[in-house]
């Protein structure tokens, strides 16, 4: 009886040690957290940092980059001064979501236009006007801006927008290159709406060509005329018995 009790005690102790060891191993095992710096984070930080001075603050720059990238609401704040309170300006980009290169060139064009108008330190309202359209006040009076994002949304390419603002697209691209990625050649040449129309035209033309290539269905052969049934001979009359 003592032997059985001793064996049972040893077995219980072994199991207990195993469970405790497993728990200790789990507790001691380090939690591995892999921090991956995504392209999104890198590009967002790079662009927003480059435009911090232009936007007036790091918060405004982040709001611009995030809003233009996702096509979401942008909230900008003009800091308070000794004579004026802080002013908040909110707008939604006219373009909807854009790639990093398009975000960069849009901000570069807005900056170039405001600088040309003599505004080196734009307010939140100035930034909204340069991007989405609106009125700015310069040393010579008020000026109505069409907005680079509004022009983009209407179907214009970045090259056409730059030209309409009085800039050479190569010069603006050269400035934007220092801030982040550049837009594709297709984006420079035409806008998103023009691209959709072009794709639709291609699909329509391909559909028409496919239909034209289909051979006409052969005519069904006419049914052969059935021969007339021969007339049955009259039955002979039976004579009387």
In a domain, 215, yes or no: no
How many angstroms separate the CA atoms of 196 and 151, rounded? 16
Decide if pLDDT at 69 tops 90.
yes
Percent over 90 (pLDDT), the chain? 59
Q: What is the reported pLDDT for 196? A: 53
Q: What is the pLDDT of residue 180?
A: 94
- Number of domains, the chain: 1
Residue 239 included in any domain? no
* Torsion 122-128-131-135 (CA) sign: negative
Q: Does residue 121 fall inside a structural domain?
A: yes
pLDDT value at 33 more than 70:
no
190 within 8 A of 155, measured Cβ to Cβ: yes
Decide if 146 contacts 133 (C-beta within 8 A).
yes
The confidence score (pLDDT) of residue 47 equals 97
Given this model, what pLDDT does residue 2 score? Answer: 47
For residue 54, the Cα-to-chain-centroid distance in whole angstroms is 24
Query: What Rg do the C-alpha atoms of the chain give, in angstroms?
Result: 39
Q: Which domain holds residue 82?
A: 40-195
φ/ψ of residue 91, rounded to 5: -155, 160
Residue 18 resides in a domain? no
Task: Point out the least confidently predicted range of 11-25, 75-89, 151-165, 225-239.
Answer: 11-25
* pTM to 2 decimal places: 0.67
pLDDT of residue 40: 77
> Which residues are CB-neighbours of 198 under 8 A, at least 6 positions away?
190
**pLDDT, tens only, 102-139:** 999 999 999 999 999 999 999 999 999 999 999 999 99
DSSP string, 147-185: -HHHHHHTT--HHHHHHHTT--HHHHHHHHHTTS----H
Residue 32's pLDDT band (cuts 50, 70, 90): very low
Is 94 exposed, middle or buried, given 0-12, 13-18 or 19+ CB atoms closer than 10 A? middle
**Looking at the predicted structure, is the pLDDT value of residue 65 above 50?**
yes
Rounded average pLDDT over 42-53: 95
Q: Which of these ranges, 17-26, 58-67, 198-207, has the smallest mean pLDDT?
A: 17-26
pLDDT at 45 over 80: yes
Q: Is pLDDT above 60 for 166?
A: yes
30-39, 181-190, 204-213, range with the lowest pLDDT: 30-39
Residue at 13 is within a domain: no
Distance of CA 178 to the CA centre of its chain: 23
Q: Is position 149 within any domain?
A: yes
Residue 208 lies in a domain: no
């Amino acid at each position: 009886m003592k032997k059985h009790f001793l064996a049972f005690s040893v077995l219980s102790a072994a199991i207990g040690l195993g469970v405790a060891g497993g728990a200790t191993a789990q507790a001691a095992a380090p939690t591995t957290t892999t921090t991956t710096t995504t392209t999104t984070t890198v590009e967002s930080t790079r662009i927003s940092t480059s435009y911090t001075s232009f936007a007036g603050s790091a918060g405004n720059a982040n709001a611009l980059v995030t809003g233009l990238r996702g096509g979401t609401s942008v909230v900008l704040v003009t800091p308070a001064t000794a004579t004026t309170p802080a002013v908040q300006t909110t707008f939604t980009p006219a373009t909807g979501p854009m790639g990093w290169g398009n975000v960069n060139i849009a901000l570069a064009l807005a900056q170039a236009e405001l600088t040309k108008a003599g505004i080196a330190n734009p307010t939140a309202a100035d930034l909204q006007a340069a991007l989405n359209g609106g009125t700015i006040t310069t040393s010579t009076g008020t000026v109505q801006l069409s907005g680079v994002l509004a022009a983009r949304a209407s179907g214009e390419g970045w090259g056409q927008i730059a030209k309409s603002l009085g800039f050479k697209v190569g010069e603006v691209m050269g400035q934007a290159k220092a801030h982040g990625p550049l837009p594709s050649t297709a984006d420079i040449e035409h806008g998103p709406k023009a691209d959709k129309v072009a794709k639709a035209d291609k699909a329509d033309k391909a559909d028409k060509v496919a239909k034209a290539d289909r051979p006409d269905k052969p005519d069904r052969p006419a049914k052969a005329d059935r021969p007339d049934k021969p007339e049955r001979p009259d039955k002979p009359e039976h004579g009387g018995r």
